[in-house]
């Protein structure tokens, strides 16, 4: 248990059986008494952000999370299979735990899995990934004047906007946090 006055950004907490990550924690003093702590937290399973208000004297349970370096093997129906690179143990997770990883992972990629009590609860993606453009419109002379770009479909099915000079079959770097094109790879 930890006092809510000691909450910091990034701390994992267990609230009502769900794991939350603290995004913000602000203390508000009252004229009398302890004051209150207003927090914004992200649910790790649903990715929804909620606000919680606590009395400064309250305590909350800190969740113990561990991270293991794994390799993405394959998907089978709605389930995704990973292998721990140290113990060679295999883990299966569903689409809820995959989150945005569905759009960025291809076979044999190495990522980190987050665990709570030896149960995988989520995928930690690298900040950028390299993916191949499978479908985009051809470039025409003079297209570079307008700075907007054109739509492209990548090998994982992700749709992004790319500059006009990017062609089918090219490898590009994509930011996994925003889903935007960064550069040619």
Q: pLDDT grade, residue 173 (50/70/90)?
A: very high
Is residue 180 helix, strand or coil? strand
Residue with tokens 């665990």: 115
pLDDT (average), residues 15-44: 82
**What is the DSSP annotation of 47-107?**
--EEEEEEETT-EEEEP-EEEEEEEEEEEETTEEEEEETTT--EEEE-HHHHTTHHHH--T
Domain extent, residue 83, equals 65-124
Q: Which of 86-117 are b and which e, b meaning 16 or more Cβ less than 10 Å from the residue's Cβ?
A: eeeeebebeeebbbebebbbeeebebebbbbe
pLDDT (average), residues 162-169: 87
**Lowest model confidence (mean pLDDT) among 20-29, 73-82, 84-93, 145-154:** 145-154
Q: Is the pLDDT of residue 143 over 60?
A: no
Same domain, 179 and 146: yes
pLDDT of residue 23: 83
Same domain, 90 and 119: yes
Count of domains forming the chain: 3
Of the residues 40, 62, 84, the one at which a domain ends = 62
Same domain, 14 and 29: yes
Question: Bigger pLDDT: 147 or 19?
Answer: 19
Of the residues 80, 107, 124, the one at which a domain ends = 124
Same domain, 95 and 143: no
Dihedrals φ, ψ of 124, to 5°? -105, 110
Same domain, 30 and 69: no
- 55-107: per-residue pLDDT in tens? 878 888 888 888 889 998 888 888 889 999 889 899 888 877 777 777 888 87
Please report, for the domain that includes residue 114, its CATH number.
2.40.50.140
In angstroms, the CA 87 to CA 141 distance is 54
Same domain, 11 and 31: yes
Same domain, 58 and 70: no
Same domain, 118 and 150: no
Structure-block tokens of residue 89: 């143990």
Of the residues 81, 102, 124, the one at which a domain ends = 124
In angstroms, the CA 163 to CA 36 distance is 49
Please report, for the domain that includes residue 27, its CATH number.
2.30.30.30
Q: Are 71 and 110 in contact (CB under 8 A)?
A: yes
pLDDT (average), residues 140-155: 74
Question: Bigger pLDDT: 26 or 139?
Answer: 26
What lies within 8 Å, CB to CB, of 115 at 6+ separation is: 65, 66, 67, 68, 121
Same domain, 58 and 30: yes
Q: Is the pLDDT of residue 31 over 80?
A: no
Q: pLDDT grade, residue 35 (50/70/90)?
A: confident
Same domain, 137 and 176: yes
């Amino acid at each position: 248990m930890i006092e809510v006055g000691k909450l910091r950004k990034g701390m994992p907490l267990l609230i009502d059986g769900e794991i939350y990550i603290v995004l913000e924690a602000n203390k508000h003093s009252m004229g009398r008494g302890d004051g209150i702590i207003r927090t914004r937290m992200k649910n790790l399973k649903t990715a929804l952000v909620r606000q919680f208000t606590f009395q400064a004297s309250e305590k909350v349970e800190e969740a113990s999370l561990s991270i293991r370096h794994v390799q993405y093997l394959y998907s089978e129906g709605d389930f995704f299979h990973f292998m721990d690179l140290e113990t060679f143990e295999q883990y299966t997770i569903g689409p809820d735990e995959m989150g945005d990883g569905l759009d960025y992972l291809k076979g044999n990629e190495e990522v980190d899995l987050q665990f709570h009590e030896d149960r995988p609860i989520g995928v930690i993606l690298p900040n950028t990934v390299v993916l191949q453009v499978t479908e985009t419109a051809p470039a025409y002379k003079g297209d570079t004047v307008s700075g907007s770009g054109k739509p492209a479909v990548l090998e994982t099915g992700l749709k992004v906007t790319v500059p006009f000079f990017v062609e089918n079959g090219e490898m590009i770097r994509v930011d996994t946090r925003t889903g935007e094109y960064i550069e040619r790879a």
